[in-house]
Amino acid sequence: MVGKIHVLDELTVEPGRLDEVRRLMTEGYMAGAKARGMTLEQTWLTPPIELFDQPNTLVYLWSVPDAAAWWAMRGAAGRDPSVAGFWAEVDSCCVVRQRRFLVDDSPAEEGR
């Protein structure tokens, strides 16, 4: 049985456009993601300072409680044309964008 599923978004942003992408995420995605059942767990910036001559990568870690919630989230995003429009706008600011889905693969403890 699959428990919590993490969604890892890595946005490698063109130099000088970090604030623009952050604004897009805050104003154009976060409320909809929450409505689709996603919880923002953490955000990171790498390297840890903004560069103006090279890309930076923004990393967003989201979660959904289980496989049923993941399918519901995917279905809702697929039915909402604004989601594709949002990602197209983000892509115009990025060198590359990657999304991965992760589950805990730790060995089960005995007696669990």
**3-state SS string for 63-112:** EECCHHHHHHHHHHHHHCHHHHHHHHHHHCCEEEEEEEEEECCCCCCCCC
pTM value is: 0.91
What pLDDT score was predicted for residue 109? 63
Q: In what order do the strands lie in the sheet with 39-46?
A: 39-46, 56-64, 5-13, 94-103
Q: Looking at the domain 5-103, which fold is it?
A: Alpha-Beta Plaits (3.30.70)
Q: What is the pLDDT of residues 34-58, one digit of tens each?
A: 999 999 999 999 999 999 999 999 9
Domains of the chain by residue range: 5-103
